[in-house]
Structure formats: structure tokens, C-alpha cells
Amino acid sequence: MTTLAHIRITPSETLLNGKVISNSNISGIYREFIGDYPKFFKMDSLCKLGFIAAELILKGQTPEQKENASIILFNRNGSLITDRNYQKTIADDNYFPSPALFVYTLANIVTGEIAIRHKIYGESSFYVLSHQDDEMMLDVVKNAYLTSPPSFILTGWVDYEDEGNYLADIKLVTK
């Protein structure tokens, strides 16, 4: 597999292709580099993280290349951060279930947000693993070519625990 680009975002720094481009938090990165997508603020934290990672790594890809790309992402927490927030809206004594939160109680929504923004019509998949298992992730991504070869695959780890603890480690790969 060939890596076309690589981005790594943590609370302390953002590295694009090995170079530090920011030390901001997620919203800070959005304002500094993107800024033209009000829907960003409706997303939950996992989606915001995946969104900014995708935005930065997909710069330079043409619409034609993006149309047939695939998005295959992994994490350990699933959508737990939002699951907990949603659970709070269904407390017995304060029962007001929030649809805007409920829709984000599925980890794969991050792949959907990326697909919508970049008009990616290829595969969008999400897997939950017990830990960041690079070998397993690489297998899953290589194997995607066995049934449906994409133009390239946006893939990697995107996990959010809290504002001091998150990681997007995402690559654009091709066979």
C-alpha cells in the first residue's frame, strides 16, 4: 500500500505529512484552516475530529478522485462520548430525548459527515476495535480491494474520549 498523505491530530499538536502545522484544539483548527462549514458546530466531538482531519488531508484531491474513494475508520470508544450525553437527556426526572444528539450515537456518522462534505460516494465503513491494532487495520483496508477497488482509501484511527484525550491518525492510501 502506498501512503499519499498522513495526518495526526492530538490535543497538543497537529502533524500533516510529518510537519507540525498547529497546536490548536479541534475548534481552533477549524477556525484557522477551514471556517466555511457552519454544520461543523452541530457535529459531536468525534465527528468534528474526523472532519478536520479529513479536510486537511484531502486538500489537493480532485472531485473525480474523491467521488470513488472509500472511507474506512476505526476506534475503541465507538460513539460513547455522545452516548453518555444522550443518556443524560433521557433521565427519568428530566426526559427530553435529543434527536440532534441521538443521530451522533453511531460512530459511523463521522464517515457520513466526511462523505457529505467531500462528495465521496464510495464505501463508508466503521469498525470498533479493542485497541489501535495497526496490523488488523491494514489487513481490513488491503482486503477492501478484494471486492471493490476504490480510487484511494481515507483510513485510520479516530477516537475521542474528552477534550484532553483524543487522537486522529489518518492516512490516504492506495494500492
Partner 1 sequence: MGRVMITKIADNIISPLGCTSEENFRAVLAGETELKKQEDTFGLPESFCASLFNRDNINKQLDCELGHVDNLTFFEKLCVLSAKKAIEECNLSPRETNVIFILSTTKGNVECLEDSLSDQRCYLAESAIKIAKYFGNNNSPLVVSNACISGVCAQITAIRELLSGKYRYAVVIGGDVLSKFIVSGFQSFKALSPELCKPYDKDRIGLNLGEAVGTMILKAGKPSNEGDWRYVASSIHNDANHISGPSRTGEGSFRVLSDILKDISVDEIGFVNVHGTSTAYNDEMESIALHRVNLDDVPINGLKGYYGHTLGAAGIIETILSMKAIENGVILPTKGFETIGTSYNVNISNQLRNTDKPAFVKILSGFGGSNAGISYQKGGKA
Partner 2 sequence: MENLILQLKNQIIEVLNLEDMTAEDIDAEAPLFGDGLGLDSIDALELIVLLEREYGIKLSNPAEGKQIFKSIASIADYVSKNRKK
Question: Which residues contact partner 1 (rule: CB under 8 A)?
Answer: 71, 76-78, 80, 83-84, 86-88, 90, 92, 95, 97-99, 102-103, 105-109, 111-113, 115-116, 118-130, 133, 136, 139-140, 142-144, 146-148
Site for partner 2 in 94-113 (CB under 8 A): 96-100, 103
Between CA 91 and CA 97 the distance in angstroms is: 9
41: partner contacted, choices partner 2, partner 1, none (Cβ within 5-8 A by kind): partner 2
In terms of CB distance, is 14 or 79 closer to partner 1?
79
Between CA 103 and CA 17 the distance in angstroms is: 32
37: partner contacted, choices partner 1, partner 2, none (Cβ within 5-8 A by kind): none
In terms of CB distance, is 12 or 91 closer to partner 1?
91
Between CA 48 and CA 141 the distance in angstroms is: 23
Cβ–Cβ contacts within 10 Å for residue 2, how many?
9
Burial code of 29-42, b = ≥16 C-beta within 10 A, e = fewer?
bbeebeeeeeebee
DSSP 3-state assignment of 119?
coil
83: partner contacted, choices partner 2, partner 1, none (Cβ within 5-8 A by kind): partner 1
Alpha helix (H) ranges present in 58-133?
63-67, 80-88, 99-102, 109-118
In terms of CB distance, is 22 or 83 closer to partner 1?
83
- Min dist. Cβ of residue 48 to partner 1 (A): 13
165: partner contacted, choices partner 1, partner 2, none (Cβ within 5-8 A by kind): none
147: partner contacted, choices partner 1, partner 2, none (Cβ within 5-8 A by kind): partner 1
Among 18, 38, 63, 164, binds partner 2 (CB under 8 A): 38
Cβ partners under 8 Å of residue 96, min gap 6: 89
Contacts of the segment 35-41: beta carbons below 8 A, 24+ positions apart: 37/117, 39/113
> What are the residues binding partner 2 (CB under 8 A)?
38, 40-42, 96-100, 103
